[in-house]
Structure 1
Amino acid sequence: MVQELLTPREMARADQLAVASGVPSLTLMENAGQAIAFEVVSHLPLQPVLVLCGPGNNGGDGFVAARLLEERGWPVRVALLGEKADLKGDAALVARRWTGPIEQARPEICMDFGVIVDGLFGAGLSRDVDGLAAEIVRAANNSAAEIVAIDVPSGVDGATGQIRGVAMEAAFTVTFFRCKPGHLLQPGAALCGKVLLADIGIPDAVIDEIEPLAFENERLLWTLPRRRVDDHKFSSGHCLVISGDALHTGAARLSALGAARIGAGLVTLGGARDALLVHAAHLTAIMLAECDRPDDLRPLLDRRKINAIVIGPAAGVSEDTRQLVLEALASEASIVLDADAISTFAQEPDALFAAIKARKNPNVVLTPHHGEFSRLFGEIAGCKLDRAQAAAKRSGAVVLYKGADTVIARPDGYVAINGSGSPNLATAGSGDVLAGMIGGLMAQGMNAFDGACAAAYIHGLAGRRYGKPGLIADDLPGILPDILFELSI
Structure 2
Amino acid sequence: MFAMITPLADLLLSPDDMAAVDRDAAASGIDSYQLMEKAGQAVAASALRHFPEALRYVVLCGPGNNGGDGYVAARALRQSGVEVGLFHVGDPRRLKGDAARAFADCPIEGEAIRNYAPRPGDVAIDAIFGAGLSRPVPDEVTAVVARTAEAEVPVIAVDLPSGVDGRSGHVLGAAFHAERTVTFMTRKPGHLLLPGRDLCGALEVFDIGIPARIVRAHSDGMIAENTPAQWQEKIPSAGTDTHKYKRGHLVVFSGGPSATGAARMSAMAGLKAGAGLVTIASPEDAMAVNAGMLTAIMLHTVEDDASLREWLADRRLSTFVLGPGFGAGEKARRFCLALADRHLVLDADGITSFRDDPQILFDAFAEGPTRLVLTPHEGEFARLFPDIAADGALSKVDKARAAAARAHAAIIYKGADSVIAAPDGRVLINANAPPWLATAGSGDVLAGIVGGLMAQGAPAFEAAAAGVWLHGLAGQRAGKGLTAEDLVASVTPF
TM over 0.5: yes
Q: Is the 8 Å Cα contact of residues 385 and 403 (structure 2) preserved in structure 1?
A: yes
Answering whether residue 385 of structure 2 is matched by residue 377 of structure 1, we say yes
Q: Is the 8 Å Cα contact of residues 12 and 187 (structure 2) preserved in structure 1?
A: yes
In the alignment, the residues of structure 2 paired with residue 38 and residue 450 of structure 1 have an alpha-carbon distance, to the nearest angstrom, of: 39
1:282-336 alpha-carbon deviations (Å, 9 max, x no partner): 221111111111222244344371221111111111211101000111x3x3211
Query: Partner of 1:231 in structure 2?
Result: 242
Query: Partner of 1:387 in structure 2?
Result: 399
Select which of 20, 25, 49 maps to 2:32: 25
Query: Partner of 2:364 in structure 1?
Result: 355
Query: Partner of 2:470 in structure 1?
Result: 458
In the alignment, the residues of structure 2 paired with residue 264 and residue 43 of structure 1 have an alpha-carbon distance, to the nearest angstrom, of: 47
1:126-185 alpha-carbon deviations (Å, 9 max, x no partner): 210131111011111222322111111010001011110110000111111111111111
Query: Partner of 1:63 in structure 2?
Result: 71
Q: How does 1:128-143 map to 2 (within 5 A)?
A: 128-143=136-151
Query: Partner of 1:35 in structure 2?
Result: 42
Query: Partner of 1:400 in structure 2?
Result: 412
Task: Give percent identity, aligned residues only.
Answer: 46
Q: Which runs of 5+ in 2 are unaligned?
A: 1-5
Answering whether residue 110 of structure 2 is matched by residue 102 of structure 1, we say yes
Q: Is the 8 Å Cα contact of residues 107 and 135 (structure 1) preserved in structure 2?
A: no
Instruction: Name the Cα RMSD after superposition.
Output: 1.6
Superposed displacement of residue 108, structure 1: 4.2
Q: How does 1:88-487 map to 2 (within 5 A)?
A: 88-106=96-114, 108-206=116-214, 207-223=216-232, 224-303=235-314, 305-329=316-340, 331=341, 333-358=342-367, 360-380=368-388, 381=391, 382-468=394-480, 470-481=481-492, 484=493
Q: Which amino acid aligns with 1:222?
A: W
Query: Partner of 1:9 in structure 2?
Result: 16
Q: Is the 8 Å Cα contact of residues 370 and 410 (structure 2) preserved in structure 1?
A: no
In the alignment, the residues of structure 2 paired with residue 28 and residue 301 of structure 1 have an alpha-carbon distance, to the nearest angstrom, of: 62
Normalization by structure 2: what TM-score?
0.93
Number of residue equivalences: 479
Q: Which amino acid aligns with 2:178?
A: A
Q: Which amino acid aligns with 1:259?
A: G
Q: Is the 8 Å Cα contact of residues 14 and 210 (structure 1) preserved in structure 2?
A: no
1:109-129 alpha-carbon deviations (Å, 9 max, x no partner): 332334111111111112101
In the alignment, the residues of structure 2 paired with residue 125 and residue 106 of structure 1 have an alpha-carbon distance, to the nearest angstrom, of: 20
In the alignment, the residues of structure 1 paired with residue 378 and residue 219 of structure 2 have an alpha-carbon distance, to the nearest angstrom, of: 31
Q: SS where residue 464 of structure 2 aligns?
A: helix
In the alignment, the residues of structure 2 paired with residue 462 and residue 65 of structure 1 have an alpha-carbon distance, to the nearest angstrom, of: 41
Query: Partner of 2:3 in structure 1?
Result: none
In the alignment, the residues of structure 1 paired with residue 118 and residue 306 of structure 2 have an alpha-carbon distance, to the nearest angstrom, of: 69
Q: SS where residue 287 of structure 2 aligns?
A: helix
In the alignment, the residues of structure 1 paired with residue 356 and residue 370 of structure 2 have an alpha-carbon distance, to the nearest angstrom, of: 24
Q: Is the 8 Å Cα contact of residues 113 and 144 (structure 1) preserved in structure 2?
A: no
Q: SS where residue 445 of structure 2 aligns?
A: helix
In the alignment, the residues of structure 2 paired with residue 328 and residue 377 of structure 1 have an alpha-carbon distance, to the nearest angstrom, of: 22
